[in-house]
Amino acid sequence: MSNKQYTIVEMFNQIAPTYDRANRVLSFGVDTVWRKKACNKSFALLGEKKVNLIVDVACGTGDMMEYWRRQAKAKGIEVGRIVGIDPSEGMVNVGRQKFPHFDFEIAYATQLPLADASADIVSISYGIRNVLARQEAFGEFNRVLKMGGLVVILEFTRQARPSIMGRVTSFYLNRVLPKIGGFISRNKAAYEYLPNSIEGFVTTETMRDELIAAGFEPLYIRSFSMNISTLFIVKKVR
Ligand SMILES: C[S@@+](CC[C@H](N)C(=O)[O-])C[C@H]1O[C@@H](n2cnc3c(N)ncnc32)[C@H](O)[C@@H]1O
């Protein structure tokens, strides 16, 4: 693993105890809408009443896993197992305390401790930006998914043509968020990393092309809330 990748994971270890609190304040709770939408749309596209395995990569403190459980229950979908995988022990330890009934594993997105063709859904929420070997990770998602299985990504992608509202969100991300996040976590650098990593990240179109190259067919790609968050749902076709 590269030094840069270690540094990113170490940063998450440091902010882990305050991550959930900061997240609630900084997102104004809007992320709950995006998470529910991701789960509901994925279940509708998968069209199965019984799902054996959902894997949440870069699971952090486990919130997305809980959304999978709740939305499945609401839709009468039976889920065999939900596994969360993340290389940050700090984040996973918080997750284990919050959700003792879930399985967590410490691992990178590029080395998932799962058998070939074992998963129905692989999700990654606000995590793919931190995975430096992204193409390798997409290959790994493909390996562990069954044919027809889904990759579900939520991410703050960069828009190819920024709008006026884009300037407003950019001001919030660059000026406001590091101050509030820095205050709550006592780690300003970590919350300066967030806008920098978004601005240095690929556009929605580029990520779509990368997913196609990794053997997936796009089923649903849409940006929400003034294009802040983008949902990608793609299907394994080869
Ligand atoms: C912003 S948090 C998102 C956590 C959670 N998915 C959520 O929605 O709240 C990003 C997570 O990515 C993890 N991460 C960083 N590098 C990673 C990698 N190479 N592979 C997998 N996860 C990684 C971090 O440890 C951190 O928990």
Q: Would residue 169 count as lying in a domain?
A: no
Could you tell me which residue, 224 or 40, shows the higher pLDDT?
Answer: 40
**Band of residue 162 on the pLDDT scale cut at 50, 70, 90:** low
Q: Give distance in angstroms: CA of 97 to centre of ligand 1.
A: 17
- The reply to whether the predicted model has a pTM over 0.85 is yes
Q: Would residue 176 count as lying in a domain?
A: no
Q: Would residue 143 count as lying in a domain?
A: yes
Q: Would residue 12 count as lying in a domain?
A: yes
From 2, 129, 130, give the residue whose CB has the most ligand 1 atoms within 8 Å, as the site to mutate. Answer: 130
Q: 62 CB less than 6 Å from ligand 1?
A: no
Helical (H) or strand (E) element with 229? strand 229-236
pLDDT tens-place string over residues 214-237: 999 999 999 987 778 899 999 999
DSSP string over 48-78: -SEEEEEEEET-TTSHHHHHHHHHHHHTT-E
Tell me the CATH number at 149: 3.40.50.150
What phi-psi label fits residue 13: left (phi over 0), alpha (psi between -120 and 50 degrees) or beta?
A: alpha
Q: Would residue 67 count as lying in a domain?
A: yes
Instruction: Please state the domain count of the chain.
Output: 1
Mean of pLDDT over the chain: 93
Q: Give distance in angstroms: CA of 226 to centre of ligand 1.
A: 24
* Domain ranges, residue 106: 3-163+201-236
Instruction: Say if residues 64 and 123 touch (Cβ distance below 8 Å).
Output: yes
**Band of residue 174 on the pLDDT scale cut at 50, 70, 90:** confident
Pick from 71, 84, 85: which is nearest to 36 by CA? Answer: 71
Q: Would residue 110 count as lying in a domain?
A: yes
Tell me how far apart the alpha carbons of residues 36 and 54 are, in angstroms, rounded to a whole number: 15
Q: Please name the residue that has the structure tokens 């997105």.
A: 109
Q: 55 CB less than 6 Å from ligand 1?
A: no
Q: 84 CB less than 6 Å from ligand 1?
A: no
Could you tell me which residue, 120 or 226, shows the higher pLDDT?
Answer: 120
Length of the chain: 238
Q: Would residue 226 count as lying in a domain?
A: yes
> According to the model, what pLDDT value does residue 59 have?
98
One-letter-per-residue 3-state SS of 74-143 = HCCCEEEEEEEEECCHHHHHHHHHHCCCCEEEECCCCCCCCCCCCEEEEEEECCHHHCCCHHHHHHHHHH
pLDDT tens-place string over residues 85-119: 999 999 999 999 999 999 999 999 999 999 999 99
